[in-house]
Amino acid sequence: MRMYACVLLAHLFTLWVVGESVSAPPTAGTARAVSLGSGVTMTLVWVPAGNFTMGSPESEDGRYPSEGPLTQVTFSSGFWMAATEVTQAQWKAVMGAESDPATFKGDDLPVETVSWNEAVDFCGRLSNLIGETVTLPTEAQWEYACRAGSQTRFHFGDGDATLRDYDWVFANSSMQTHPVGSKFPNAWGLYDMHGNVREWCLDWWADSLPGGSVTDPTGPATGSRRVLRGGDHGSMPFVARAAHRSRDAADYKVAAIGFRVVSTR
């Protein structure tokens, strides 16, 4: 029995040394950098397992009917989410140096003018490059990560005036994108969740939320349009709210749309 215990302890120590820790998962906001080659990295932050109320109450200022009914969502496991939108430098590192589709050029600016189809292609290539499964976030993952434990109109509170401290929107953007991560992050270390570019999500669009209680939701099985979340550089505050939902065809692209990625590793 004593020998068995020693062998087990040695095995657990080995798992910890090689990075396969059997201890508790990281704390919310823990960051890790992933190399994309040529000196380009992507920072991912840990979004913990947990639950939240998805959508907005009927009393919320600027609310759309598609933001209800309020839905209790549980995530059975955590996931890694990119701290910022995918940048043009990251896009070129994965897709090729000559492939940058962005309208507003700059390596530290978000890549935009990308369709849902192209964003999914990026995720597949990035998965192969770094050896872990990378996808677009589900709509529920996106809102949960954006809120970071809050239930207010924005992750920082309810006030429109404070929005410019956290995001690039109509009031402060001069109608163009800006370097990612140049405003304050949310409580879990995620930047630009309410502005700069809207972000593609994995889900098909549904005209309403499911309601009730759901676990690890992935949206409808079929549809005609894909979900977009977050505000962009031309958004008014009511469009930039955490609960706001929009949608477009999978091949649609415009200079206000980009994306970020998640990994379940």
pLDDT tens digits, one per residue of 174-213: 999 999 999 999 999 999 999 999 999 999 999 999 999 9
- Residue 24, pLDDT score: 81
pLDDT in tens, 88-130: 999 999 999 899 999 999 999 999 999 999 999 999 999 999 9
Q: Can you list the domains of the chain with their CATH numbers?
A: 25-263 (3.90.1580.10)
- Residue 110, pLDDT score: 98
To which residue do tokens 């950098």 refer?
A: 33
Give the pLDDT band (50/70/90) at residue 22: low
Q: How far apart are CA 221 and CA 202, in angstroms?
A: 11
Lowest-confidence segment of 25-29, 233-237, 259-263 by average pLDDT = 25-29
If 0-12 CB within 10 Å is exposed, 13-18 middle and 19+ buried, where does residue 19 land?
A: exposed
- Of 15, 96, 24, 31, the C-alpha closest to 263 is 31
Average pLDDT score over residue span 56-71:
97
Mean pLDDT, the chain, integer: 92
User: Measured at the alpha carbon of residue 69, what is the angle toward residues 64 and 75, in degrees to the nearest 5?
Assistant: 110
Lowest-confidence segment of 21-35, 176-190, 231-245, 250-264 by average pLDDT = 21-35
Q: How far apart are CA 88 and CA 93, in angstroms?
A: 9
Q: Say if residue 16's pLDDT is above 50.
A: no
What angle, rounded to 10 degrees, do the helices at 116-130 and 88-95 form?
70
- Residue 4, pLDDT score: 34
Q: Say if residue 5's pLDDT is above 60.
A: no
Give the pLDDT band (50/70/90) at residue 11: very low
Structure tokens at 47: 């979004």
Give the pLDDT band (50/70/90) at residue 10: very low
Looking at the chain, the whole-number percentage of residues with pLDDT higher than 90 is 89
With beta carbons less than 8 A apart as the criterion, state whether 52 and 90 touch. no
- Residue 23, pLDDT score: 67
- Residue 25, pLDDT score: 85
Q: How far apart are CA 143 and CA 52, in angstroms?
A: 9
pLDDT in tens, 129-139: 999 999 999 99
pTM for the model: 0.91
- Residue 15, pLDDT score: 36
Average pLDDT score over residue span 233-251:
98
pLDDT in tens, 139-178: 999 999 999 999 999 999 999 999 999 999 999 999 999 9
- Residue 265, pLDDT score: 81
DSSP secondary structure of the chain: -HHHHHHHHHHHHHHHHTT---SPPPPTT-EEEEEEETTEEEEEEEE-SEEEEES--TTSTT--GGG-S-EEEEESS-EEEESSPPBHHHHHHHH-TT----SS--TTSBP-S--HHHHHHHHHHHHHHHTS-EEPPPHHHHHHHHHTT--SSBTTBS-STTHHHH---TTTSTTS---TT-S---TTS---SSSSSEEEEEEEP-SS---EEEES----S--SSEEEES--TT--HHHHSTT-EEEE-TT---TTEE---EE--
